[in-house]
């Protein structure tokens, strides 16, 4: 990567971009949650966390070791190679049911280890019977790629083949992979529907299905597609359903999706205790970009994820931060998939330390050591806020979430 693009050519990085930069932003009539509601929610969470510090919960002690689950020695070896030592609560409580072939509903906060909770048993199931096929549906490209990367680790050396079905890349290549009858097909609803209509992907051949981040798929308008997929699948199947929340529309899917399910919930509170949440107030007449600039120059802002409301606004802000000398990149719907993936890899490898995105990035991204999440634009709901800030404070680490509120 050319590092020169991240250096300012000289002079004052703020010169001539204060009012001019703000004039460049268009106003979008998009719904956002009331400011007072978010401020009150953050205050309540901070109070709860203060109580937790004086009256902490007992540390969770798993009832199982990975060796206690009925999985093959080769799969166990792959688990160890990935550095997994003890099951997380959702893994501990749900994996026996999946291994037994039961339908499950898993309700958990982001970053709890749910991806491994379903991939480990399913990889073992396919390893034992290569006629088994698994469909995994997730809302975003990024989450699909994350699931695929996790699966590669658990399936190492097991002769298991996968195909990805996501937009932004050649459908021809994906169709070619699907003709090989891979054991796992992992995709987003839109691209899966496109491929099903070509008659290359026959869902009647899949007796195992996972809906991951189901509430998010409903939020972004995929409920009809999900119902369509379910209608094409065999009645006799194993169905695994994972979601952070169960709304009315999500219940519509559940009615025809699972049979006599085991439900496991490991949610304690909406936001992780390890996330410090603060409000950044922008007074009338203050330049919001300058406020962000000053924050990012402070010590400790090592790996920062910034959320904006629109694709256009995120791109504009990214270009401005680069102009000011920051190492930044953007992911949003106007970027091709290979561009988004390249930017994500640059962020993960610390070639850039600031990643900006729309809410397409707020679900499924699993990036280690994000020090700060900044809500540059207000989220549309508290649920979206929770998912945004869940990108930091993962795996029992500390994180900081800052939200800009204009007075």
Strand, helix or coil at 242?
strand
List beta partners, residue 354: 304, 328
Low-confidence ranges of the chain (pLDDT < 70): 1-33, 46-58, 109-110, 267-273, 361-364, 395-396
Q: How far apart are CA 367 and CA 399, in angstroms?
A: 12
pLDDT of 24 reads 40
Domains of the chain: 3-53+270-406 (3.40.50.300), 66-265 (3.40.50.300)
| Digit-coded pLDDT (tens) for 255-296 | 889 999 999 988 655 556 678 899 999 998 899 999 999 999
Residue 368 near residue 146, CB atoms below 8 Å:
no
Residue 227, both tokens: 């119902």
Q: How far apart are CA 179 and CA 140, in angstroms?
A: 23
Q: How far apart are CA 65 and CA 116, in angstroms?
A: 14
Q: How far apart are CA 224 and CA 206, in angstroms?
A: 19
Phi (first) and psi of residue 15, to 5 degrees: -60, 130
Q: How far apart are CA 121 and CA 106, in angstroms?
A: 14
Taking the model in full, what pTM does it have? 0.65
Residue 372 near residue 354, CB atoms below 8 Å:
no
pLDDT of 60 reads 76
CA-based nearest residue to 340, from 329, 349, 351, 348:
329
DSSP secondary structure, 35-87, as one string: HHHHHHHHHHHHHHHHHHHHSPPPPP--S--GGGS---HHHHHHHHHTT--S-
pLDDT of 11 reads 44
């Amino acid at each position: 990567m050319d590092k020169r693009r991240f250096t300012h050519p000289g002079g004052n990085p703020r010169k001539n971009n204060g009012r001019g930069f703000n004039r460049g932003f268009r106003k979008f009539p998009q719904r956002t949650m009331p400011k007072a509601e978010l401020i009150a929610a953050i205050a309540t969470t901070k109070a709860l966390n203060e109580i937790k510090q004086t009256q902490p919960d007992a540390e969770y002690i798993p009832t199982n070791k990975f060796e206690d689950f009925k999985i093959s020695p080769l799969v166990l070896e792959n688990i160890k190679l990935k550095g997994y030592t003890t099951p997380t609560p959702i893994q501990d409580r749900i994996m026996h049911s999946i291994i037994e072939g039961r339908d499950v509903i898993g309700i958990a906060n982001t970053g709890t280890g749910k991806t491994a909770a379903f991939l480990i048993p399913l990889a073992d199931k396919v390893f034992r019977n290569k006629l088994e096929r698994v469909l995994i549906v997730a809302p975003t490209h990024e989450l699909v790629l994350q699931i695929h990367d996790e699966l590669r680790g658990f399936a190492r050396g097991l002769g298991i083949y996968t195909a990805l079905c996501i937009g932004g890349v050649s459908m021809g290549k994906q169709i070619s992979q699907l003709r090989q009858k891979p054991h796992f097909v992992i995709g987003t609803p839109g691209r899966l529907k496109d491929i099903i209509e070509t008659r290359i992907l026959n869902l009647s051949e899949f007796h195992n299905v996972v809906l991951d981040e189901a509430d998010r798929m409903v939020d972004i308008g995929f409920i009809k597609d999900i119902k369509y997929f379910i209608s094409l699948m065999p009645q006799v199947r194993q169905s695994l359903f994972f979601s952070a929340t169960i709304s009315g529309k999500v219940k519509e899917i559940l009615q025809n999706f699972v049979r006599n399910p085991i439900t496991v919930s490991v949610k304690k509170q909406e936001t992780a205790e390890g996330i410090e949440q603060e409000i950044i107030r922008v007074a009338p007449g203050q330049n919001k970009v300058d406020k962000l600039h000053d924050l990012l120059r402070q010590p400790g802002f090592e790996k920062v994820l910034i959320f904006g409301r629109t694709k256009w606004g995120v791109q504009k802000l990214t270009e401005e931060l680069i102009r000011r000398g920051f190492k930044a990149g953007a992911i949003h719907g106007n970027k091709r998939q290979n561009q988004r993936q390249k930017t994500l890899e640059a962020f993960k490898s610390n070639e850039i330390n600031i990643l900006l995105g729309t809410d397409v990035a707020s679900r499924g991204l699993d990036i280690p050591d994000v020090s700060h999440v900044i809500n540059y634009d207000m989220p549309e709901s508290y649920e979206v806020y929770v998912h945004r800030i869940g990108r930091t404070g993962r795996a029992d680490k500390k994180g900081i979430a800052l939200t800009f509120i204009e007075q």
